């Protein structure tokens, strides 16, 4: 009602509209007062005509069944009421149209922004956070949960992003069994989005079993396959509308495509890493080691990387470099690689070429350029007396320095046919002794920090 009254005031504040009404009153030879529903005079039209307002009646001005104000005047003023009602309806529809255009514009902007940002997400957690931040611009939401069917475990993986007014945005992972009691399962089964405006009345369980006021849940579909559901929830009662649901469903459809892409990408990456790992192990089997050298170098390197605070993407590159650090040994002849005794100078020179062979192999594989320095320089020394390039200090790439420490520690602690491996503590002391000469002291420190008790009983 208040909105219609505002609309009436706005209409009468327009000089053109007022002139039309004055002209009509003049034509009718009458005067009239236009008032809001509280009795405040908004316009005094036709003043000076022969038909005084004091002899008048009162006629309501209605729009869409609601009273916006009223007109006082003679019976002739009813014509003013009709014209005013018509003008108000036109003004209302115009405003409706502007709102509609503005909302469409906001929606288009939302999806443009969403698509642009989601393209660089390589983690479902990031997608959850991004979806939450965008949804919140348009729909009331305190949490967003992405629920994905896990066909291997037969559970539901849940990624929940929450943002309250008093806290930072957080993301947590959990799992949920198929209980048949959650709205998400119902939506996954039916394939239709749902609004639950009062969860306590409707008897549904909120995702994660938490207390929730209202929820909207939409299926995550890839073509006709339902891979999960996406849910937004508010802590307090919220009246979600069908246009909220429509917007949310469209957003969920887009999120579904990207979530599936992230999953496929992760699967591919895992397949790639396990293929590379198998390749490295196959090469290792030619060697005299007792086995699992690659695995241990990878684990030690990763632990050092974490201890140095290297970010997720950097750790992935480090892991690959560590797996492939000795791939160049494939180019070293058996009679040199497998020779039990001491190598001649010429044989040692050939052996020292394996990092360069590794570089040559990896150069042929598109997308692995970033791991080459770690492979090529894992035998460089901090004091510059290593090979193949005699690099020193910070000329040596970080991953290469890390692999050097991990590789040497494993070589020292591994049993060979001609000698027993050192115990971990002695080997760690040896790393410390060679800090600043063979190794970068920062990397040795990070190794000690990663394995403070140096127990490693399962070496």
Q: Which two tokens stand for residue 166?
A: 């008093």
Q: Which residue is nearest to Fe ion, using beta carbons? A: 326
Buried b (16+ CB within 10 A) or exposed e, 272-305: eeeebbeebeebbeeeebeeebbbbbbbbbbbbb
Residue 232, CA atoms < 13 Å, CB-side half-sphere: 29
Q: Which is nearer to Fe ion, 326 or 380 (CB)?
A: 326
Residues near 171 by beta carbon (within 8 Å), at least 6 away in sequence: 125, 128, 129, 159, 160, 161, 162
| Options 4-12, 28-36, 305-313, 323-331: segment touching Fe ion (CB under 5 A) | 323-331
CB of 358 to Fe ion, least distance (A): 8
CB of 329 to Fe ion, least distance (A): 7
Q: Which is nearer to Fe ion, 245 or 317 (CB)?
A: 317
**Residue 326 interacts with Fe ion (CB under 5 A): yes or no:** yes
**Residue 284 interacts with Fe ion (CB under 5 A): yes or no:** no
CB of 407 to Fe ion, least distance (A): 6
| Options 180-188, 209-217, 325-333, 417-425: segment touching Fe ion (CB under 5 A) | 325-333
CA–CA dist 159, 128 (Å, integer):
7
Buried b (16+ CB within 10 A) or exposed e, 390-406: ebeeeebbbbbbbbbbb
**Residue 260 interacts with Fe ion (CB under 5 A): yes or no:** no
| Options 75-83, 252-260, 306-314, 318-326: segment touching Fe ion (CB under 5 A) | 318-326
| Options 52-60, 85-93, 294-302, 319-327: segment touching Fe ion (CB under 5 A) | 319-327
The β-bridge relationship of strands 66-73 and 170-176 is unpaired
CB of 354 to Fe ion, least distance (A): 6
Q: Which is nearer to Fe ion, 198 or 287 (CB)?
A: 287
CB of 142 to Fe ion, least distance (A): 53
Q: Which is nearer to Fe ion, 149 or 329 (CB)?
A: 329
Under a CB-based contact definition with an 8 Å cutoff, are residues 31 and 53 in contact? Answer: yes
Hey, is 101 helix, strand or coil?
A: helix
**Residue 410 interacts with Fe ion (CB under 5 A): yes or no:** no
Residue pointed to by tokens 């699967």: 267
CB of 393 to Fe ion, least distance (A): 20
CB of 353 to Fe ion, least distance (A): 11
Residue 28, Ramachandran bin (φ over 0: left; ψ between -120 and 50: alpha; else beta) = alpha
Task: Report the interface residues with Fe ion, using CB under 5 A.
Answer: 326
């Amino acid at each position: 009602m208040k909105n219609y009254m505002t609309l009436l005031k706005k209409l009468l504040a327009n000089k053109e509209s007022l002139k039309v009404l004055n002209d009509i009153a003049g034509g009718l030879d009458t005067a009239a007062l236009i008032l809001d529903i509280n009795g405040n005079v908004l316009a005094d039209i036709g003043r000076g005509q022969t038909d005084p307002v004091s002899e008048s009646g009162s006629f309501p001005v209605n729009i869409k069944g609601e009273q916006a104000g009223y007109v006082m005047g003679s019976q002739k003023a009813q014509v003013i009421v009709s014209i005013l009602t018509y003008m108000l309806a036109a003004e209302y529809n115009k405003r409706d149209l502007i709102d509609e255009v503005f909302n469409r514009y906001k929606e288009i902007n939302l999806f443009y922004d969403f698509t642009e940002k989601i393209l660089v997400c390589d983690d479902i957690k990031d997608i959850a956070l991004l979806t939450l931040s965008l949804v919140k611009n348009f729909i009331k939401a305190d949490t967003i949960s992405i629920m994905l069917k896990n066909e291997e475990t037969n559970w539901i993986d849940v990624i929940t992003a929450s943002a309250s007014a008093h806290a930072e945005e957080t993301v947590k992972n959990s799992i949920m069994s198929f209980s048949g009691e959650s709205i998400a399962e119902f939506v996954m089964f039916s394939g239709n989005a749902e609004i639950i405006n009062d969860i306590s009345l409707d008897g549904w369980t909120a995702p994660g079993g938490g207390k929730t006021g209202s929820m909207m849940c939409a299926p995550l579909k890839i073509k006709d396959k339902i891979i999960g559901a996406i849910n937004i929830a508010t802590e307090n009662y919220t009246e979600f509308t069908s246009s909220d649901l429509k917007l949310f469903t469209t957003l969920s459809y887009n999120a579904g495509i990207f979530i599936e892409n992230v999953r496929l990408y992760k699967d591919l990456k895992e397949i790639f890493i396990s293929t590379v790992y198998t390749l490295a192990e196959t090469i290792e089997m030619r060697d005299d080691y007792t086995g699992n050298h690659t695995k241990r170098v990878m684990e030690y390197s990763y632990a050092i990387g974490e201890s140095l605070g290297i970010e997720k993407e950097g750790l992935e590159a480090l892991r690959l470099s560590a797996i492939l650090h000795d791939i160049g040994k494939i180019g070293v002849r058996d009679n040199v690689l497998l020779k039990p005794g001491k190598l001649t100078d010429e044989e040692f020179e050939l052996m020292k070429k394996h990092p360069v062979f590794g570089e040559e192999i990896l150069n042929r594989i598109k997308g692995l350029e970033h791991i080459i320095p770690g492979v090529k320089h894992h035998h460089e020394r901090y004091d510059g007396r290593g090979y193949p390039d005699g690099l020193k200090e910070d000329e040596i790439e970080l991953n290469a320095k890390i692999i050097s420490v991990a590789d040497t520690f494993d070589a020292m602690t591994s049993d060979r046919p001609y000698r027993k491996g050192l115990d971990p503590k002695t080997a760690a002391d040896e790393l410390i002794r060679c800090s600043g000469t063979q190794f970068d002291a920062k990397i040795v420190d990070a190794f000690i920090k990663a394995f403070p008790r140096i127990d490693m009983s399962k070496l």
